[in-house]
Amino acid sequence: MNSVSAALQRLCDPSVEVSAHYLIGGDGSCWQMVAEDQRAWHAGAGQWCGLDDINSRSIGIELDNRGDHPFSEPQMVVLEALLKGIMARWAMPAQAVIGHSDMAPGRKIDPGSRFDWARLAYQGFAIQPAQNTDPQAPSFDNFRGMAHAAGYSLAVDDQTLLGAVRLRYRPWAKGPLSPADMTALVPHAS
């Protein structure tokens, strides 16, 4: 959406059948639209860790950002506070914090390449690649197995899977599968 007010209007319009539990504006404003114990319609078709119907298994947080600029400091601060509370209330591990692009590779690209996953991981609100690991020789068979073990269980082609993993862990990366792509999927530390 082009503005937080447009996103809020759309998320509250029952005719479009899309909603989220929370919306965080670029200025740090936060709206709760659906109770956390209720189902929202934010994720759509997808899969994570072999589970589908992600809408029934998740708390959806939408962020006011078109994807062409960094997320604002006030927005990230509010997101971090919100995640801290949600994770405590639901005993949710960092491995459960994912983006739409993780559960629906190829169909969804948000939160996008400008989202600061490393910042969240540093605070324990997301996972990050293990450090100082020896890279494995790149092969899509191994990559696919490692991605599946990390949670990427939706059946997609190799390039779509690579794109989704890179969007999360190596958004600057280009070109063919590399040893660094394999390293990004080594068991993660929170």
Q: Which residues are catalytic?
A: 62
Give the CA angle between residues 86, 84, 106 to the nearest 5°: 70
Sheet with 30-32: strands ordered across: 30-32, 22-24, 61-63
In this structure, which amino acid lies at residue 28? G
Residue 115 CB partners (closer than 8 Å, separation 6+): 63, 65, 71, 99
Q: Which residues contact 126 (CB under 8 A, 6 or more apart)?
A: 94, 97, 117, 120, 190
Tell me the C-alpha to C-alpha distance, in Å, between residue 126 and each of 75, 82, 123. 16, 13, 8
Q: Are β-strands 61-63 and 30-32 bridged in parallel, bridged antiparallel, or unpaired?
A: unpaired
Range list of β-strands (E), 43-89: 61-63
Quote the CA–CA distance of 159 and 176 in Å, as a whole number.
Answer: 9
